[in-house]
Amino acid sequence: MHNRGMEFRYLGNSGLKISEITYGNWITHGSQVENDVATQCVRAALDAGITTFDTADVYANTAAETVLGDALAGERRESLEIFTKVYWPTGPGGPNDSGLSRKHISESINGSLRRLRTDYVDLYQAHRFDTETPLEETMQAFADVVRAGKALYIGVSEWTADQIRAGSVLASDLGVQLISSQPQYSMLWRVIEGEVVPTCEELGISQIVWSPIAQGVLTGTYLPGQPPPAGSRATDANGANFISRLMRDDILEAVQQLRPVAQEVDLTLAQLAVAWVLQNPNVASALVGASRPEQVEENVKAAGVVLPASTMKQIDDVFGELVVRDPAITALGAPAGRPT
């Protein structure tokens, strides 16, 4: 079980290595947490050996990118992998302030680079699939961003297997590398296993997974029949709507049953959850956020851990039918039209 410090994996079929733990500043930066704490969390990530940082223009309506750019100022740029995303509405939310049109992609990358205080991002990701823009237009715009040197690689988030395949074909034709997918994935949420993962393995695309601890549910902090602790994600206005579907007593009871399983391999429940997603060979990195620097140090201990088959089976046995697996959910949860 020994953790040998940070480990690195190739992202997709590329020469780019990223840290097994990616520091994500989703709803934790710019909204829940004041900027000085955010900066402390980024420092803790760097100290823990994390080199990969993921954000998006929509997080806190562009404030998260600014916070991350400020926190990383003064670091050697070549030693970092900085990822961001485009799709959701930004700015005042005008008719072209969202989606994956050539106009919005072109304007968004420039805004992101300015806020992140860098000349390029290592990975530029389509934050959702845009049903209102021809995929050819989107991929051409991404290819132009890469050719301009503003992004080195491209990725997607929460696309279906079919959408990923279509995007990959176009990327290949355009001579750019589509190397990543960023889906939700955890012990409880395995919808990518049926279709997305096999498709991505075939196409040379890795997963960078978000919510490996299921918005905190897999930490064991929330007890069945008890109100959530003050200050926790479930009590935060931003976090609560994401976590509510998991705050069921049957799920919370199952999580408590994992305590001895985690103890057996000398991990906390949160570390076990992060280590679990990293057992999937198609997963390059687990995205972890933090509202306190100590959380970063704790989560990093999941890197490099190899879980025995017996532990993996115990986890499956504990959750059983509670696991969500239906691959159709990716499409069902997708925006039907461009958001405004």
The contacts of residue 339 (CB under 8 Å, 6+ apart) are 88, 89, 98
Spatial CA neighbour of 299 closest among 21, 47, 46? 21
59 assigned to active site: yes
Quote the tokens at residue 23: 């520091």
Backbone angles phi, psi at 233, to 5 degrees: -55, -35
Question: What would the DSSP string read from start to end of 298-339?
Answer: HHHTTTT----HHHHHHHHHHHGGGSB--TTHHHHTS-SS--
Quote the tokens at residue 247: 């705050």
Quote the tokens at residue 29: 């930066």
Backbone angles phi, psi at 81, to 5 degrees: -115, 110
Q: Round to whole Å and give the CA distance between 96 and 165.
A: 26
Q: Round to whole Å and give the CA distance between 43 and 102.
A: 35
Catalytic hit among 23, 59, 124, 185: 59
Q: Determine contact, residues 183/192, Cβ cutoff 8 Å.
A: yes
Catalytic residues: 59
